[in-house]
Chains A and B, each alone.
Chain A
Amino acid sequence: MFNKKGYTDVSDTIFFVITFVIVALTIGVSIHLFYATQVDIRSQEAKILYENVVEGIIGDGLTDINSFDIYANANIDKSVVKNGDFYFEIDIKKDGVSKRQIFEGNREFKVSCDLPGPKLPKCYDGKIIVGGYEVIIIAGSNSFGRSI
């Protein structure tokens, strides 16, 4: 660090700082990359959301489809579904004709559910028959949570 006159050698100091920063960054970035893995539970969440919706529909029996409230019947928290990470859609049909459609959550999922991609939502769909109606349900999740 010091030359013969007792003064600091600027080039040595700069070189030392740069080396130090490179080593620190390498260690930091490596650890971050190793632990930044996301535990992906989107498929399971989509399936559970689908099942909750199905239970809500079956519990109601669809006696009056116009006054049917999915949130009251399926124990689903409206504010969480509307935060943008979840989606579900219910299409109630009779003789092939749609009688009522319910879309809740992030509507972009309606398109992105069918597309492949690691950042795109995971969805689950199915069809049930309740009270003489054919009900098509799609549920999706794109909730990663924040990175660690």
Chain B
Amino acid sequence: MNKKAEENLIIGNVTYLLFVLIVVVGLFFFVTRAGSQAPLYEQIYAKQISLAINKAKPGMVFELDIFDIYNIARKNRFEGNIVLIDNVNNLITVKLTNGRGYSYNFFNDVHVDARIENKGELILDIKES
């Protein structure tokens, strides 16, 4: 085999291996994220919380059991805030992985303070906006 052919062979194989590696890594992350059912739970809880806030009146305090998604988040090694409330844009974001999470609007014009107590109890404090 001459030097030119050898170089072409190496370049061809390295390119092919890189392509396979990129596809496999991408597929791996996609399958592990989908397999944990995190995206589905993010959507379900964001919408449930949205319904609760839409129905709420200032002065109310909601206690929601979110033990199951708390455990999913910890299993995914996500240590950040699971439930984020953006009171400026009226947006709820539920994050169970290090991704962007799932966001959903609420139309009730209230200010919401959210905190998690006892490793899975979501407290929503509804105030005047």
Give the residues from 40 to 60 in chain A that come closer than 8 angstroms, CB to CB, to chain B: 41, 44-45, 48-49, 51-52
Known: A7-B9, A17-B19, A80-B90. A31 touches B34 (CB 8 A): yes
Asked if B54 and A48 make an inter-chain contact with CB atoms under 8 angstroms apart, the answer reads: yes
In the complex the two chains form, is A20's CB within 8 Å of B107's CB? no
B34: which A residues are within 8 A, CB to CB?
Answer: 31-32, 34-35
User: With contacts A27-B31, A28-B30 known, is A75 near B16, CB below 8 A?
Assistant: no
B106 within 8 A of A: yes
A100 to B58, CA, bound (A): 29
Residues of the A chain whose Cβ atoms lie less than 8 Å from the Cβ of B78: none
Q: Is the CB of A52 within 8 A of B102?
A: no
- Chain A residues near B1: list those with CB within 8 A: 5-7
A86 to B107, Cβ gap below 8 A? yes
Known A-B contacts A76-B107, A77-B108, A80-B105; A45 and B54 likewise in contact (beta carbons under 8 Å): yes
A-facing residues in B18-47 (Cβ within 8 Å):
19-20, 23, 27, 30-31, 34, 37, 39-40, 42-44, 46-47
Q: How far is the CA of A145 from the CA of B128 in the complex (A)?
A: 25
* Cα-based distance from A60 to B60 in the complex (angstroms): 21
Q: How far is the CB of B127 from chain A (nearest CB, A)?
A: 12
Considering only CB atoms and an 8 Å cut-off, how many residues of chain B contact the other chain?
39
Distance, CA A75 to CA B60, complexed state (A): 14
- Which residues of A line the B interface, CB within 8 A? 1, 5-8, 13, 17, 20-21, 24, 27-28, 31-32, 34-35, 37-39, 41, 44-45, 48-49, 51-52, 71, 75-81, 83, 85-86, 143, 145-146, 148
Residues of B whose CB lies within 8 Å of any CB of A are 1, 5, 9, 12-13, 16, 19-20, 23, 27, 30-31, 34, 37, 39-40, 42-44, 46-47, 50-51, 54-55, 57-58, 89-90, 102-110, 129
> 19 other contacts beyond A35-B37, A77-B90, A79-B90, with CB at 8 A cut-off?
A6-B1, A8-B9, A8-B12, A13-B16, A27-B27, A27-B31, A35-B34, A35-B39, A35-B40, A49-B54, A49-B107, A52-B54, A76-B109, A79-B89, A80-B90, A80-B107, A143-B104, A145-B43, A145-B103
